[in-house]
Structures are given as structure tokens and as C-alpha cells.
Amino acid sequence: MSDMPNTPTAVRGGGKAPVLTITDLHVYYGNIAAVKGISLEVFEGEIVTLIGANGAGKSTTMRTISGLLKPRKGEIVFEGEKVSGLRGNEVAARGIAQSPEGRRIFPRMTVLENLELGAFLRKDKAEIPVDMERVFELFPRLKERIAQKGGTLSGGEQQMLAMGRALMAQPRLLLLDEPSMGLAPVLVDVVFEIIERVNAQGTTILLVEQNALAALNIGDYAYVLETGHIGLQGPAADLADNEEVRNAYLGLA
């Protein structure tokens, strides 16, 4: 795919610096390059989405931002501070939380215990019950299941729990990796509605999603990853109308 012109920074960020800047990121699994020099920006208040086929490097990018993988080259800067190379707990302590691909909840712990773990690094203990209620407002089903073991929840409920657990960290940047994977269409709609609500409440979101149409419909800006590099980028609405994207990812040509 050919690159679209970049949207000027001033238009996206109102003249402010990005919350997250990734520059020339290279990530390897052994000798295999999974991410090959990508650069991207996320500005405060945005929903930025990464779309692309399986194996394009989307989840690898997210895991590297979170500190679960170490880049071989390149830099990740969050709120003006370099975070590439930090451990996962150090990245989380700086205000980045991830709802990972496959949910990764703790199956033998209750819903409440899973949510409490999300707030483990927080110092403002008095505010944790306030955020717990916020999570229950977003996900009423979790309140109904508060004493139930995570492993006994349905797939949709586990996805809600994974997102709720990440929100309990009170992140300034929320990473959502394939939140609609494996869900029934009606639950996919619910999940994307909740993502929009979370963003409207002030949380900046970086979203990896194979459901490209749904992601572009709620996104502000989008990047298309192709086998480890960015093939296309631009305002999400423009990419949704782009013929190459429609052919490759939306099935709407």
C-alpha cells in the first residue's frame, strides 16, 4: 500500500506533544523480525487503532509498549519519558495499562479479586472504591458476578473483566488488544460502545483490532500494519473510505 499524507501534528494534537510516540521500533523473536521500524503517535483523548492481518505485528507492538518485550532498536516515549526497555511493572506504574489479547484473567480468582489486582500499584487507596463503582457502572454484569471465579465467566464476561481490571489501574493510556476476539456479534457491539464511553470519560486509547470496520468507525486516527511495517496511516474515517483498505480489510469493495 502507498502511504497517505500524514495529518499535521497541530491538527491532531492541537499543538500539544503526543502522549505516546514510537520511533523506528524494531522487535525480534530470536532472529525473526516481527516489527520492522514502525513509528506512530497517540495524542491525548484520541482512540488510535492499529489494524492489519494476523502476523502483521500488532500484538507485538502492544506487548513492547507494555514492557513485556524488549525492542532491539527504536524508542518508545510516554508523556515525555522514555519507557522502552523498562519492565512491565515499571511501565504500568507510569500510567499505561493493557487489556491483553486472550483476556488473561486469573481464572481461580473472583471477579472482585481480579479487579483489585488491577489497582495493585496504586497509592491512592481511598479512590479505589470510586473506580470500582465506575467499572461496575460500565460493566453491570461484573457486579452481578462479583463473587464468581473468573474462569467460570462467559467469553464476553471475561473480556469485560479484562477491560475492567485494566481500568482499575486508572491508566492515562489504555491498550486494548483484540477486545472483540471470539465474541458474538451482539457482544462486539457492546464492547465497542463501552470503549467509546471510556474514551469519552477522558481515557486515551490505543486499540488493536481485527474487526477493522468497527475499529475505524470509533477511531480518530488509524495505522495499517503490514508484516511488521506501517503501510498506511491517516484519519480513521478516511481509511474507512480508502479503496485499498476496503479491499484488503473490510471486504466492502
125 and 250 within one domain: no
75 and 176 within one domain: yes
- Res 31: pLDDT: 93
- Res 103: pLDDT: 75
84 and 8 within one domain: yes
Q: Domain boundary residue among 146, 168, 190? A: 168
The CATH code of the domain that includes 113 is 1.10.8
| 149-179 residues labelled b (16+ CB within 10 A) or e (exposed) | bbeebeebbbbbbbbbbbbbbbbbbbbbbbb
Q: Domain boundary residue among 126, 144, 168? A: 168
162 and 128 within one domain: yes
212 and 176 within one domain: yes
- Res 11: pLDDT: 65
- Res 182: pLDDT: 80
Q: Which domain holds residue 197?
A: 1-95+171-253
110 and 218 within one domain: no
Number of domains, the chain: 2
10-residue averages of pLDDT along the chain (253 residues) = 45 84 96 95 96 89 95 96 94 91 85 91 86 92 93 88 92 92 84 92 93 92 93 92 79 50
Which cell numbers hold the place of 233? 496511516
Which cell numbers hold the place of 137? 457502572
Q: Domain boundary residue among 168, 184, 219? A: 168
| 70-91 residues labelled b (16+ CB within 10 A) or e (exposed) | ebeebebbbbeeebbebeeeeb
Q: Give Cβ neighbours of residue 37 (< 8 Å, ≥ 6 apart).
A: 24, 25, 26, 73, 74, 228, 229
- Res 115: pLDDT: 93
